[in-house]
Amino acid sequence: MTPPFPRAPARVAVVLLLGPLVLLATAGGPAHGQVRWENDFRLSYEYDDNVREDVADNLRARVARVAVKSDLVLADSGANRVSLAYQGGFKRYFDVSSDLDVAGQFIHEGEVAYRRVLRRNVLRLSGAAKHRVWQDESFFVNEDGFTRLSGGAAATHAFTPTFSGELALGLSGIDFEHVDEVFGYEAQSAGIDLTQRLGDGMQAHVTYGVEQRTYDGRGKLRGSDDVPSNIFAPDRPRQIDLAHEVGIGLSFLQPFGFQGRYRYHVNDSNSFGFGYTSHLVNLQLAQELPWRMFAQFYGAVELRKFRDPIRGLVGALDVEDTDNNVLIFRLLKELNGHADVEARYARYRNESINLNAFYTKNVYSLGFRFRP
């Protein structure tokens, strides 16, 4: 398979992090509109019956989380908008096992974004970074520390008052602290999103996207008779995956909140055993309840079929933003205009660090949120 994109180092994404600020300076500086700053603080306590996300040997633990989310709008004149966003926190494990002395981990994620409105066109530039690190050398392999950099540009054009189209381009790269040779990659992506407004609060979407991933630490497997360990042979061509995805979606707000989406995903790889097709369905329901309560359901199902399934291949690593199969129920109670409490149950069936092998886990949690 010949890659359609030239390989782009992850450091290119770092340059894109600075792009919005450069455009801001050329647009005349931040002296437009009023600076706004919003913060969100969260505490949660949960029980996880499979913290290592293992296929066979479940390890249970209690987990405490402290998190903060902050959004800062530096300039907003209507035509120009510059914003910074940060979310991060600390996660601590308790009662894991007497022979596993894991401490806790910090997660930081930030984004800088620039938006410019030009009549019926909207231009968006953004750059982001996410970093996860453990307190000491003890860690779960499925949650290895990592640094991910990404940058992108998107342009939206309103063809009519109710119909618009968006073209987006992106670059990203992820480096893992201990297992980068196995899971680290660089990616380039492009996508199209066509949106039709059907009525008040109702929209329909048609999407298409393509992404190329290059795994620096993985070599190309040549066929069914190749030994899986040869994936780490340094003298082989690097593994390159090219994914295509088409999707349709519908959302509305009345009589209840609804978001539904179907996607068909095809992953082609130059390495034997990594090609597959999948059908993905996402569904989200939301409803206001009496006594200032709010209920939400989210579900995701993926039916994946590998073209040449073989055992012993490496899969993917958890970076906390991708799920194959999940059910989530949330019940939120607003205490006042600044605080609320939440009960949450989630069940996961996701791909483990071994390709085409899936783990299951249940997570029960209680949380408190405060907004100054």
- Could you give the CA distance from residue 62 to residue 140 in angstroms, rounded to a whole number? 15
CA–CA distance, 220 with 63 (Å, rounded to integer): 39
- Full-model pTM: 0.87
pLDDT at 5: 47
Torsions phi, psi for 19 (to 5 deg): -55, -50
Query: What are the C-alpha distances in Å from 231 to residues 167, 224, 269, 275, 317?
Result: 35, 13, 13, 15, 17
Contact residues for 311 (Cβ-Cβ < 8 A; gap 6+): 228, 356
The reported pLDDT for the residue numbered 11 is 52
Bridge partners (DSSP) listed for residue 197: 203
The mean pLDDT values, 10 residues at a time, for the chain of 372 residues are 48 54 50 77 95 82 94 83 93 75 86 91 94 82 87 96 97 89 91 95 97 92 82 89 98 94 96 92 96 96 86 68 86 95 95 79 97 92
Q: Which domains does the chain have, with CATH numbers?
A: 11-370 (2.40.160)
Q: Determine the pLDDT at residue 27.
A: 52
* Chain segment 153-187, per-residue pLDDT in tens: 999 999 999 999 999 999 999 999 888 888 889 99
pLDDT, tens digit, 9 for 90 and up, residues 194-215: 999 998 889 999 999 999 999 9
Query: The tokens 């069914």 sit on which residue?
Result: 224
| Alpha carbon 261 to chain centroid, angstroms | 16
CB 42 within 8 A of CB 338: no
Type of residue numbered 156: T
DSSP-based three-state secondary structure for 289:
strand
pLDDT (0 to 100) of residue 143: 83
In this prediction, residue 124 carries a pLDDT of 94
Give CA–CA dist 330/345, Å, rounded: 7
pLDDT computed for residue 28 by the predictor: 46
Cα distance between residue 203 and residue 224, in whole Å:
46
